[in-house]
Amino acid sequence: MEILSATHQIITSIVILAFKEILEQPLFRAIGKVADDCGQPVFVIGGYVRDILLQRPTTDIDIMTVGNGIELAEKVAVSLGIRSKVSVFRNFGTAMLRYKDLDIEFVGARKESYQRNSRKPVVEDGTLEDDQKRRDFTINALAISLNEANFGELIDPFNGISDLNKGIIRTPLDPDVTFSDDPLRMMRAIRFATQLGFTITDETLLSIAQNKERISIVSPERIADEINKIMLSHKPSKGFILLEETGLLKLVFPELQKMKGVDSFNGIAHKDNFYHTLKVLDQLALKSDNLWLRWAAVLHDIAKPNTKKFVEGAGWTFYAHNYVGAKMIPGIFRRMKLPMNEKMKYVQKLVELHMRPIALVEEEVTDSAIRRLLFDAGEDTDDLMTLCEADITSKNQDKVRRHLENFQLVRQKLKEIDEKDAIRNFQPPVSGEEIMEVFQIAPGREVGLIKNAIKDAILDGIIGNNHEEAFQLMLEKAREIGLTPAS
């Protein structure tokens, strides 16, 4: 016991050293001074302390005081000469200051009790200890005093420092209480494990599995926030595997759950599309930070379970899964409260087109096929190629190398043709208005026919992408359908 507490003291001293430079900023001294004048204990607490110790850059600072947090924030703003307004959220008893590039949130210490069917606690004023107990994880409950008398003292009642060193996610109280009180914490546990590369203790993990149904009281927006943070992690597969193992996945993302498992027929099995998808996602994450491209990776094969069919002679087929998948996306986005705007359309487009580059290499890389891909993918062509490269998950290294080389060739061709023919941001060289004016016709079928003929001729390389050749072709097509210029 003595050895333990000695070790703890050493660790604590190291922590204080690590913090010393940061704490000595005028900001923290100023907060301490103002709180001293009010006779209130004050602490920097939670995510900021954790992230400084992990050397993760953060700009969000949480300040907790035993007493009124809003009044303290207002006095600190005066003392620091901050002219912009303090944002006050009376319902939550919090106030927010912006200082330099930092967001500083002030809150009074609180004690919470929960009702069974709501995430919204009944809040009372509490002590430091009450406040630390209601925090989600031991690593998020670390507090450092800012009052002059014990400036820099670490208050770590749940051995958060030791968990931080060991890379462990664990709740301060009985996990069944912590998770049942606020089930969002189950998603947060998995998100932190994924973001930080930490391990959730067995007891905590078991408790998530046991309390999973409670997730139903959490709003879809908050769940989507956590999924997005998992998705943006260095190795997102970890989070999805934990969601699956705890049983949360089928509640929050049933379509992805459905991808798990293999069917076999006459001894022929297809690959497990859940693990394949996760591998694609991890591979993509190494190449791009674009959240929506990562969503496209998660969803690219989402219709495989629905389109799966065993065909004699051909084996397992997933006919048109890219089209069916693209059609599923609005429903999934709507339910998860993800944006229904151009971001969703972008994901849809990539899912729909994800088979095209591979078809290109397997058949022949003709100029016309390249132009058509550029036309359909437009400015998202490079992202589509990145997705397709990540989609190669064969265990056969030779095959992987061959595919990657082929895609390199496609990329090269795309570049050449794009430079030559400017298809990526295709604007018809002869507009509908011009066609209507030349032939003195109203909008209608003929205009569409001529425009399409021009577009196809350009994409097929029959004419160049310029006004002169397009105008000639327009005259020819018009003649074919019995139109004459009205000059």
Q: In the complex, which residues of this chain contact ligand ATP (CB under 6 A)?
A: 46-47, 60, 62, 135-136, 140, 182, 184-185
CB of 56 vs Mg ion, minimal distance in Å: 11
Verify binding: residue 342, Mg ion, rule CB under 5 A: no
CB of 204 to ligand ATP, least distance (A): 14
Which partner in ligand ATP, Mg ion, none is near 403 (CB below 5 to 8 A by kind)?
none
Residue in 24, 37, 60, 405 binding Mg ion, rule: CB under 5 A: 60
Does 96 participate in binding Mg ion (rule CB under 5 A)? no
Q: What tokens does 107 get?
A: 């809150």
User: With CB cut-offs between 5 and 8 Å by kind, which of ligand ATP, Mg ion, none does residue 349 bind?
Assistant: none
Considering the complex, what minimum distance in angstroms separates the CB of residue 47 from Mg ion? Answer: 4
194 binding partner (options Mg ion, ligand ATP, none; Cβ < 5 to 8 Å by kind): none
Bridge partners, residue 123, by sequence: 112
Nearer to Mg ion, 19 or 253 (CB): 19
8 A C-beta contact, residue 86 and residue 77: yes
**Is residue 121 at the binding interface for Mg ion, with CB under 5 A as the rule?**
no
For residue 243, give the nearest of 263, 227, 262, 221 by alpha carbon.
227
Burial 114-144 (b: 16+ CB within 10 A, else e): eeeeebeeeeeebebeebbbbbbbbbbbbbb
Q: Is 126 in the site for Mg ion (CB under 5 A)?
A: no
CA distance 348 to 220: 21
As measured in angstroms, the least distance from the Cβ of 22 to ligand ATP is 16
Backbone angles phi, psi at 434, to 5 degrees: -65, -40
Please tell me whether residue 148 binds Mg ion under the rule CB under 5 A.
Answer: no
Q: Does 103 bind Mg ion (CB under 5 A)?
A: no
434 Cα distance to chain centroid: 45
Find which of ligand ATP, Mg ion, none residue 124 binds, CB within 5 to 8 Å per kind: none
Query: Which of 55, 487 has the CB closer to Mg ion?
Result: 55
Binding status of residue 47 toward Mg ion by CB under 5 A? yes
Instruction: Report the 10 Å Cβ neighbour count for 272.
Output: 13
CB of 192 to ligand ATP, least distance (A): 7
Strand extents, DSSP E, 126-167 = 143-145, 154-155
Closest approach of ligand ATP to the CB of residue 169, in Å:
11
CB of 168 to Mg ion, least distance (A): 20
Q: Where are the beta strands (DSSP E) in 189-298?
A: 199-200, 264-265, 268-269
Q: Which CB atom, from 95 or from 458, has the smaller least distance to Mg ion?
A: 95
Q: Would you give the DSSP letter of residue 286?
A: T
Nearer to ligand ATP, 115 or 306 (CB): 115
8 A C-beta contact, residue 428 and residue 466: no
The item of ligand ATP, Mg ion, none sharing an interface with residue 175, based on CB under 5 to 8 Å by kind, is none
- Nearest residue by C-beta to ligand ATP? 47
Give the nearest residue (CB) to Mg ion. Answer: 47
- To 10 degrees, what angle do helices 291-299 and 273-285 make? 160
129 binds, among ligand ATP, Mg ion, none (CB under 5 to 8 A by kind): none
Which of these, 300, 244, 294, lies nearest to 273 by C-alpha position?
300
Q: Would residue 58 be called left, alpha or beta, if left means φ above 0 and alpha means ψ between -120 and 50 degrees?
A: beta
Nearer to ligand ATP by Cβ, of 47 and 461: the residue is 47
CA distance 420 to 458: 12
- Could you say which of ligand ATP, Mg ion, none residue 136 binds, taking C-beta under 5 to 8 angstroms by partner kind? ligand ATP
* Residue 486 CB-density burial (10 A; 0-12 exposed, 13-18 middle, 19+ buried): exposed
d(CA 298, CA 321): 14
Residue whose CB is less far from ligand ATP, 230 or 483: 230
Q: Which residues bind Mg ion (CB under 5 A)?
A: 47, 60
